[in-house]
């Protein structure tokens, strides 16, 4: 099997000649929390003070948002991040968006989405859900969705750099490691392998190992 990565060290590939632009491609793991914890807190506050929204309904909507994130994560990773255009410009954009992560999987400053991507993307999702749910129900739902996103980013960082000793987290890490080092066309779920089971994109060796347990 050909080597699936260029470097397994904590090092980077340069994406821009401009030092200013390059700066925005390196993101510390805490940045998503700094940006989105206050946003999520505000959404939960708005949910709490919204007339006509019961606590039970708020909890159900929050958990629904958290669940919907898992499918959004899977679909984005599989069909957007792993879409490989034919044009040179498209290939370059793909490399900047996700290809560089597969060539330098342990680059600690490129394991969470940069704000230049996460903020516009979250805004589009909010507008979509606002249209679907309306002003009453969108706040707790989107709060759950953002918590799912933050968990995704932090779990992704942890699978590459945290000493995960708990058996549950080791399985999550193993699932993602196979995506990088065995078959990048499988194992698209990062925070959960659920949708890989549903859509039949589990790594064959992982399925075999699971069946033997």
Reported as a single tens digit per residue, the pLDDT across 121-154 is 999 999 999 999 999 999 999 999 999 999 999 9
Predicted confidence (pLDDT) at residue 117 exceeds the cutoff of 50:
yes
DSSP state of 51: T
pTM for the full predicted model: 0.92
Cβ neighbours around 111 below 10 Å, total? 20
Is residue 1's pLDDT more than 60?
A: no
pLDDT of residue 2: 65
Query: How far are the Cα atoms of 47, 190, 200 from residue 39, in angstroms, in the given order?
Result: 12, 23, 35
Reply yes or no on whether the pLDDT at 4 is more than 90: no
Q: Give mean pLDDT, residues 11-23.
A: 89
């Amino acid at each position: 099997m050909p080597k699936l990565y260029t470097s397994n060290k904590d090092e980077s590939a340069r994406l821009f000649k401009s030092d200013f632009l390059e700066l925005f491609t390196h993101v510390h793991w805490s940045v998503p929390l700094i940006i989105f914890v206050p946003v999520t807190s505000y959404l939960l506050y708005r949910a709490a003070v919204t007339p006509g929204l019961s606590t039970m309904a708020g909890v159900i909507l929050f958990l629904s948002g958290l669940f919907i994130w898992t499918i959004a994560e899977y679909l984005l990773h599989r069909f957007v991040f792993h879409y490989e255009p034919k044009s040179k410009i498209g290939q370059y954009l793909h490399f900047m968006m996700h290809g560089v992560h597969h060539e330098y999987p342990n680059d600690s400053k490129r394991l969470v989405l940069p704000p230049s991507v996460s903020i516009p993307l979250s805004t589009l999702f909010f507008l979509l859900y606002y249209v679907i749910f309306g002003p009453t129900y969108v706040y707790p739902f989107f709060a759950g969705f953002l918590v799912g996103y933050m968990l995704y980013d932090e779990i992704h960082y942890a699978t590459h750099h945290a000493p995960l000793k708990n058996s549950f987290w080791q399985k999550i890490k193993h699932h993602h490691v196979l995506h990088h080092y065995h078959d990048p066309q499988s194992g698209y779920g990062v925070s959960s392998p659920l949708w890989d089971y549903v859509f039949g994109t589990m790594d064959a060796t992982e399925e075999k190992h699971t069946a033997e347990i």
